[in-house]
Each structure stands twice: as C-alpha cells, then as structure tokens.
Structure 1
Amino acid sequence: METTIQPLQQKERLFILDAIRGIALCGILILNIGGFARPHQASRHLLVYNETSPVDLASWYVTNFLVEGSYRGLFSMLFGAGMLLLVHRLAKQHTGLAAADIYYRRLIWLLLFGLFNAYVLLWFGDILYAYALCGLFLFPFRNSSIKLLLVLAIFCFAVTVYKGWSRTTERLAVRERALAALALEKQQKALTDKQQEDLKAWKMIEEKSSIAKLREGAEKKVSDMQKSYPEVWEHLAPMIRAFESTKIYDAFFFDVMLFIFLGMVFYKTGILTGDKPLWLYGVFVVVGYTLGFGWGILEGNAYRAANFDYYRYLEIRPIKIEIYQLHRLLVTCGHIGLIVLVWKSGWMDWFLKGFANVGQLAFTNYLMQSVLCTLFFHGYGLGFYGKLTRSELWYVVVGVWVFQIIFSAIWLRYFLYGPLEWVWRSLTYWKRQPLVRAAGSIETVSA
C-alpha cells in the first residue's frame, strides 16, 4: 500500500533550529526597517538628515557595518538546513518522484508568495522569491558530501568577491578616466568623443552624490511614498522588478546560495543542532564577533573619514578587496555560537522559547512584518515614512518583536501551525491540513 506523505509534525521539530530561525527573523527587521521607513539616500549618509547624535551614530554603525547581512545569512543557513530536513523525511516516507514532487510544489508556492509580498504588500526587499529560485537548484545536492557542499560554497564566495571587485574596479576606472580628461581640458587640449562621454558621466555622478542632490532626492522619495496605494505601487514597481530580476541574476543568487550551502554543511556536521563541543561555539563567538565587529568598525570609520564620499572611501578603506561576505559570515557564526551557548547553559530557556515560537511561525511572521511596516510607514497607512530618525526606528523594531513574540506564543497554544504555514502546507500537499490542537493536548516544542 502506498504511504501518504505528511508534513512535518510538531514532535519532529528541533527546538534550537526554531530558536535560531526566530532570532534570525527578528534580526532581519533591524536591516529591513530602513527600506520600509526611509529614503535610500539617507541609508549610509548621516548628513542627509544631519544625524550626528551619539544614538544615531551608534545605530548607523550597527545597521550598516556591524550586523548588516548577518541575520539574512543566518536565515539563509536555516533555509538550507530546512531543505535537508524536508527532503530526507520525505525520502523515508516514499520512494520514486514523490519527494521531488512535494519539494518543488512547495517552492512554486513559495515563489508565488514572494511575488505577493513584493507586488501586493509592496516590500521591494522580499527574500522569499530569491529563496524559491535558489531552492530550485538544491534538490540534486540533498545527498552530497560535506566536501562537495564546501566546494560549492567556496565557489559562490569567489563569484561574489569577483563581482564586487569588478564593480569597484569599473567605478574607479570611470573616475580615473574622467579625471584624466578633466586634466586635458584644463590644458585646453582637444578631447576625444570617448573622453567627453567619460567626463560628462563623472560630472553627473558628482552632481547626484552632492549633499544638495541627495537631500532633494530624499524629499522626492518621501513625497512619493506618502501617496495612495496605486501611486506607491507605481513608484516601487521598477525597484521591485530590478531586485527580483537583474540583481538576483547578477550577484544576489550567489550571495544567497553561499549561505544556503553553508547551512547544509552546518546542519550535516551538527553545528546548527548544537552537537559540537562547547569550545567550538565559544570560538565562534570570540573570533566571529571580534573580527567581524572589529572590521565593521574600521569600515565605518573609513566611511566617516571619507566624509561619506563613496569614491574616497574606496581609496582609503583598510582592505581594498571585497570581503563583505567574509565579514557577514564571521558575524553570523558569532550569532550561532552565542545562541547555542545560551541554549546549552539552560539559564534562559524562557528567552529562547519566545524566539522558537516566532521561528515556528517564521513564514507568517515574515509576511506580517511587511504588513505591519508598510501600513505604518506608507502614505496609504499611517504615513510615517521619512518622519523618524534612524535611532527612533528601533522603537518600531522592538515593538514588532514584542508583538510577534506574544502573538506566536498565544497562537501556538491553540493551533498546530501558523496561519500562513497552514495555507502553505495545505497548498503543497493539495489537502486541507489539521490546524486546531486537540483539547488538552498542548504540545511544546522540544529538542
């Protein structure tokens, strides 16, 4: 008799993976909140809004140079580990193509949910679509050796380094060609058509990066985001299309795949599940945070020393090659080490339990962040876009965290899955899944 494939049951969950996922999801909002709430012109430039207070400066360092990308890296690792959990469980239940059938149906729905998040909820930084596309390539690697997965991760790392170096080299080359043309112009020498184009392009770059133009662009952005839903949609649509097409197919695909492959390695080796010696997690914390945060501070200092001039920053930054991925990997490992050590200590189970609940409802909570933040900041909602300083955004971030921790805990007392997890499972298996817990059988997530 053919075995019916069932989704992951509550008792099969791993507490530590849920806790890491929940913390990663909350951490992602630290970085995403800027995209929800403010013009991109003010992202790294403190002088656009003259944000020079100590709290704004500290927030600038944290979001742009200390933890930037690390929680997304952690979330991507959990996606890779989750893929292995899913397909290996499916393989035990059924033979043939059934496991692949369920896996790819799940990804197709994830892709559609990502499009919904981007084009309906209007979050241009949606990650679900990218995960769905990357996930299409993972199934053949479900049984791959750790060595092969590491090779693939190193390859993705190398691609991102090369692309970063290539972009930086081209930008500096444009500047050098323009400065050479400017020197010839000052000598009253005739310029070739190419030199004239280079000089014109550089003058446009200088003009666009001037503080006056940045402020003007920020004001226009705020005005555009304070309008009705159709008008905000029209404004954001080109950005959404670019993020979910050219950016993914340029370098972001390899950015995501790097951490997905590492997540598969960390799961297979037992690092993510807390199976390694405590000293290893201690090394993760000390080395990851010391080198990662230290490097971030040096980068932030260089950016300030360059007076927020990107091209000047490229000239004076401590290391000339692109090491963004290495930085976020170090900080991500620091997060993993700290979370596992806290879990192993047993001192803060109540703390991790709150995040584990959020992690169990990660899909619901991720889309909920889009709903809450777009309605709070966009003009068709409360219209707070561009009205809060970067330090004041922390009130919104913490408020969303508290709401989602409380919501997740209450929801899981009465239901087996989050509302969107239930929809996703039902669509994936093309069968209505149970949702309400049986009376008197409130299960807790256990290791």
Structure 2
Amino acid sequence: MNSFGTPTNQRILVLDVLRGIALFGILLANMASFKTPLFQQQSLPSEWTSLPDGPLNQWAAFGLEFFVVGNFYPLFSLLFGIGFYLFYERSRAKGRDARRLYKRRLTFLLIIGGLHLFFIWSGDILHTYAITGFLLLFFINKKTSTILAWSISLIIISMVVLGALVTWSSLLISTLTAGDMMETAEQSVHTAVSIYSSGTYIDILSFRLENEVPAVLSNLFINIPNILGLFLLGVYMAKKGLFHHTTHYKHVWKRILIMSGLSGGTLSLFYASLQSGILTMPSWLSYGLASGLNISAGPLWMLFYVAFIVLISHNTFVIRMLQPFAAAGRMSLTNYLLQSIIATFVFYGYGLGLFASVSVFSGVLIGAGMFLLQIGYSWIWLKYQQQGPFEKWWRRWTYPVQ
C-alpha cells in the first residue's frame, strides 16, 4: 500500500494525497458491490450494459463509469509499487535485511486480506496485492528499462486475455441463459437480495463462502498479471525519482498529463458508452469489449489524475486544500478496511439492511458522506498518533524487535 511506518518527515506529501484520493475513488467504485448483488447479476445479460431509471441516476452511473470505475485500483496498485521501492531502498540504506522485512510485511497483509475476504466482504484486494507483491522481489535490481518493458507487456497482455475471456464467457452465458437457465440466474439474484438485505451475519457469511469467495479465489491468477504490471509501473516511476523531484521533472509530468488525458479520456469515454448501453452492440460483445477497454483506459486515465495532482501540488494554497486527503491517505490500510466494515453495516441485514434499495445517485451521496467521515476521524487520530491502528500493527509485525 505505502511505506507505512515511515516517519512523518520522510514521507512524500503528494503520495499521501494520492492515497487519499485513491481511497475515495475505490469507495465510490465499490458501492455497486456493497449495495447490489453484483456477483449474481453477471449471469444476467440484461444487467451488463444498461443505464438505471431517472436522469440523476443515469448521469451518476455514466459519471462513475467514465471517471471512477477501473481507474482507482490502478492508482492504488501504482502506489503499492512506489511504496515497495521506497520501503526496500530505505531499509537497505539503514543496513537492514530489506528482503526479509518486506516478506514480513506481505505476510501481514496476506493475513489481514484473507480475514477481510472471508469474514467481512468478498471484494477484498489485499490478499491479491500480498501474493503479487512477492513477485516484485524478482525486479528490485533490474534496470528501469527492463521494469518498464515488463510493466507495459503485462498490462497489454492482461487487456487482451481478460477481454477475450470475458467476451467468450459472455457469449456462452447469453447463448445459454434461456428458459430454465435464465430462471436460475434470476433466482440467484433474488436469493442474494433476500439474504443480504435481511439475513444474519452467519447467514450472509455462509452465503458468501459458498457462492462468492470461491469465485474470487479462482480469479486470483487471472488478476495477478495486470496488478503486477501496475506495481512495476510504480517501481519504475519511483526508481526514476519522478515523485522525489517533481519540479525537476515538471516537463515530464506535463507530457504525461497531455498524452494520458487524450488517450485515457478517449478510451474511457468509449468504455463508459458501451457499459451504459449508449453505444449499442450485442450484449456479449459490448460487455467483453468494455472489459478490455477498461483495463487499457484505467491505467492511462489514472496517470492523468496523478500528473494533474502532482502539477497542481506545486501551489502552496492547493496543497493545503488537499491536506484532508493526505490525512486519509496516511491511514490508507485502516481506512480501506473500515470502508468495508461501515458499508456492510449500512447495507447488510445485520445492520441497516439497505441492500438493493439504494439508487446509484444515493449510493454516491452515501459514499461521499462515508469518506468525509473518514477524513474527519483520520485528521483527529493523527493529531495524537503518528499512524493509524492497522498501520501501527503492521509496523510492529514488520519490526518485531526494535
């Protein structure tokens, strides 16, 4: 995630700001999974490419697809790669066994991610990050050109392979989901809504462990190449010093802003139009093509966001205005986990039971309210502590004796 445990005076402020922004984007992107049976709806072709009812919901849905979906996990992944490099180099500079310490960090992350996946929410990304993170050790001493080549290759391969897989599976589903198959798919959606909206914690846990967690684990190795490519992009940028010397590389950031904005914006617009049903194609084709576009547009659009934040952060007033995001970003592990805890309480039956009863626009408002709450308690917490609670436990696990 980042170099948790890094003393405040060694932190790079713009990275904390980006972590905070990534947290907000991830929360908005995850709202659909928190409040609707997204896993089960994947078997219903009618749910693949359409807009909800009502202009507010339609604009909110299109805005999420264009600006948010697929753009902030790449940012989180990029920051993970940057954090890996900074942690490793700082550990080596202090004469520590960086490889051993880094493995300890990943082990902690894997345990926390596993607990999060099994006992709280099926959309966990931490376990995937932890497993993929071990592969970074093979690249730490490689040349920057080699790292960049691997990064680009993995992202492109992932785009092609995942797009092809989704297209093929979508074609099969759209061919087979007739009669009894369609009835079964619809019944699985109704069952999920019933259990999530009114079930007890044990009911929901049993349902997830049987119906969702196995699917998440089976997709693990499909997701690793893309995530590793993004990790390596972060390592490359950190090795080049793009975040340490932002003023020196201002011309580079401007080029990144223009190129990624034009390419990422165009691809993201195409993706959002397909995903929202504005561009009409057979559902199996548009869904598969949209998936491939999202993987390619996400990193480009993400780089546009990064370059924009880096460039405006040279203004003292702007960076002061972004400090609340930095506070949330310094506690990114804690806040990521708390997002799941709060959201599942709001939507699941053992809490407020709002599952499948909240519109897209209302979901955005709830997400914004949750993040404002996170900014508030992060700000207060860091007035008295140097780290968030999970960050502190992570540090203690990494350095058992100091």
TM-score by length of 1: 0.80
**Aligned-partner residue type, residue 110 of structure 1:** L
Task: Check the 8 A contact 2:49/2:287 in 1, yes or no.
Answer: no
**Residues 335-346 of structure 1 correspond to what in structure 2 (within 5 A)?**
335-346=305-316
Task: Name the structure 1 match of 2:283.
Answer: 310
The answer to which of 267-276 and 341-350 deviates more is 267-276
**Structure 1 position 415 matched with structure 2 position 385:** yes
Residue of structure 1 aligned with 2:237, choices 259, 262, 266: 266
Task: Name the structure 2 match of 1:114.
Answer: 113
Decide whether aligned partners of structure 1 residues 135 and 49 sit closer, same or farther in structure 2, where only a CA change above 3 A counts: closer
Give me the whole-angstrom Cα distance separating, in 1, the residues matched to 2:327 and 2:12.
12
**Aligned-partner residue type, residue 390 of structure 1:** V
**Aligned-partner residue type, residue 286 of structure 2:** Y
Task: Name the structure 1 match of 2:29.
Answer: 31
Decide whether aligned partners of structure 1 residues 102 and 48 sit closer, same or farther in structure 2, where only a CA change above 3 A counts: closer
Give me the whole-angstrom Cα distance separating, in 2, the residues matched to 1:213 and 1:296.
33
Give me the whole-angstrom Cα distance separating, in 1, the residues matched to 2:224 and 2:354.
32
Task: Name the structure 1 match of 2:94.
Answer: 93
The answer to which of 71-80 and 283-292 deviates more is 283-292
1:31 aligned counterpart, secondary structure: helix
TM-score by length of 2: 0.88
Give me the whole-angstrom Cα distance separating, in 1, the residues matched to 2:91 and 2:98.
5
Residue of structure 1 aligned with 2:191, choices 220, 223, 230: 220
**Aligned-partner residue type, residue 196 of structure 2:** M
Identity rate, percent = 24
Cα deviation digits, residues 138-191 of structure 1 (max 9, x gap): 12322221111112112312331331253256348x66xxxxxxxxxxxxxxxx
The number of equivalent residue pairs is 393
Give me the whole-angstrom Cα distance separating, in 2, the residues matched to 1:413 and 1:237.
39
**Aligned-partner residue type, residue 73 of structure 1:** P
Task: Check the 8 A contact 1:130/1:244 in 2, yes or no.
Answer: no
Give me the whole-angstrom Cα distance separating, in 1, the residues matched to 2:298 and 2:26.
13
The answer to which of 306-315 and 340-349 deviates more is 306-315
Instruction: Report deviation, 1:376.
Output: 0.8
In structure 1, list runs of 5 or more residues that go unmatched.
Answer: 1-5, 176-200, 434-447
Task: Check the 8 A contact 2:268/2:301 in 1, yes or no.
Answer: no
Task: Name the structure 2 match of 1:282.
Answer: 254
Give me the whole-angstrom Cα distance separating, in 2, the residues matched to 1:291 and 1:119.
38
Task: Check the 8 A contact 1:24/1:72 in 2, yes or no.
Answer: yes
Task: Name the structure 2 match of 1:231.
Answer: 203
Decide whether aligned partners of structure 1 residues 100 and 314 sit closer, same or farther in structure 2, where only a CA change above 3 A counts: closer
Give me the whole-angstrom Cα distance separating, in 2, the residues matched to 1:207 and 1:263.
48
Give me the whole-angstrom Cα distance separating, in 1, the residues matched to 2:167 and 2:357.
37
Decide whether aligned partners of structure 1 residues 38 and 309 sit closer, same or farther in structure 2, where only a CA change above 3 A counts: farther
Give me the whole-angstrom Cα distance separating, in 1, the residues matched to 2:264 and 2:180.
32
**Structure 1 position 380 matched with structure 2 position 350:** yes
Structure whose CA Rg is larger: 1
**Aligned-partner residue type, residue 356 of structure 1:** A
Instruction: Report deviation, 1:49.
Output: 10
Decide whether aligned partners of structure 1 residues 358 and 308 sit closer, same or farther in structure 2, where only a CA change above 3 A counts: farther
Decide whether aligned partners of structure 1 residues 217 and 70 sit closer, same or farther in structure 2, where only a CA change above 3 A counts: same
Residue of structure 2 aligned with 1:143, choices 141, 144, 148: 141
Instruction: Report deviation, 1:337.
Output: 1.3
Decide whether aligned partners of structure 1 residues 208 and 69 sit closer, same or farther in structure 2, where only a CA change above 3 A counts: farther
Instruction: Report deviation, 1:281.
Output: 2.9
